[in-house]
Amino acid sequence: MDIIIWAVAVVIFIIFEIITVQLVSVWFAVGAFITMLAVGFSDISFTGQLVLFIAVSAVLVAVTFPLTKKFRKREYIPTNAELNTGKQAIVTEEINTRSGTGRVSLNGVYWKAVSDEIIPMDSIVTVQAVDGAKLIVKYSE
């Protein structure tokens, strides 16, 4: 009967791994499989089975987790909006945070713009940051 329990555990862990695709249960599936084999070839108490399952799973996690960390770590790739930081734009509407005005043109796209200072129309500004759909700019001299 115990072999059936471990066989079901293997299937459940494999299904969970397929659903998540995040390498979260593959170690437990292997641990359950080895425990199932051990139960099939010897008479181990249920406590011994649990110890074997936990030990095998822990060793697999300890050995393979650092290796999988390389594959899981992804390089941060900035979005299109973040690529605008540091670029220059032309002020198309006076930037005045108090009155709530301010628009700039950057690469043919019009953006809402804010700044700590009042910047007149037709000035050139440098994009300091992107905050949602608005640019935080500074007067370029």
Mean pLDDT on 90-103: 93
Domains and CATH numbers, the chain: 2-72 (no CATH), 82-139 (2.40.50.140)
Contacts of 119 (CB under 8 A, 6+ apart): 91, 94, 95, 102, 125, 137, 139
pLDDT (tens digit per residue) in 10-57: 999 999 989 987 778 899 999 999 999 999 999 899 999 999 999 999
User: Could you tell me which residue, 81 or 3, shows the higher pLDDT?
Assistant: 3
Contacts of 115 (CB under 8 A, 6+ apart): 95, 97, 102, 125, 136, 137, 138, 139
Q: Provide the b/e sequence for 42-79 (b: ≥16 CB within 10 Å).
A: eeeeeeebeebbeebbeebeeeeeeeeeeeeeeeeeee
pTM over 0.75: no
State residue 73's pLDDT score.
Answer: 62
